[in-house]
Structure 1
Amino acid sequence: MSEGDWADGPSVEGVRRAWGATVAALPVGARVEGRVVGCRPFGVFLRIDGVPDAVGLADIGSMPAGACLPALGDRVSGQVVWHTDHNHQVRIRLNEWIDRE
């Protein structure tokens, strides 16, 4: 995802520089809230409250059957389930998806 793809998200360079601090601030299991800043067929990108240089990704692999992806600008909450080092993404499982199971 290039910097120009964000509706209102962090810079690509800022995300890369802050990766160590992001992982420390958002350990697996941490509860998060944020806003959808990018939508793709495979999931949505999130700007996580309180961690401005973090990129959250809620992907369709975590989405239960019959659920929908949130829309651009939606406020969401969820839980950190993984850190993807190669592209500096925090994988998020949305609460609305957990509640549907």
Structure 2
Amino acid sequence: MIESIVLMGGLGVVVGIGLAIASKVFYVYVDPKVLAVDEALPGANCGGCGLPGCSSNAEAIVAGKAAPNSCVAAGPEVAEAIAAILGVSVEATEPDIA
């Protein structure tokens, strides 16, 4: 009985150490600005900006490949918040109405 408890406890420690090492080895760095811009976007993932989703749009905005006001689902308040995160200015645009 005690042998099985010690064996399972030891196995748990070994697997835990292995997972801790794997998390350090396979860590993926994410730019904090991308996370901040992604949180500012509405999260609709509509594709109205021409990109597959809001996280792709956030990466493009931070990289300078898209304008801070490129999200058509968000209003001017979101564009101003994104511009404040990036430290750039944003120009006002007229909403497209069908």
Q: Please state which structure has a larger fraction of its residues in strand.
A: 1
TM norm. shorter chain > 0.5: no
Question: Which structure is richer in relative contact order (CA contacts within 8 A, separation 6 or more)?
Answer: 1
Q: Please state which structure has a larger fraction of its residues in helix.
A: 2
What TM-score do you get using the length of structure 1 for normalisation? 0.25
Structure showing greater radius of gyration is 2
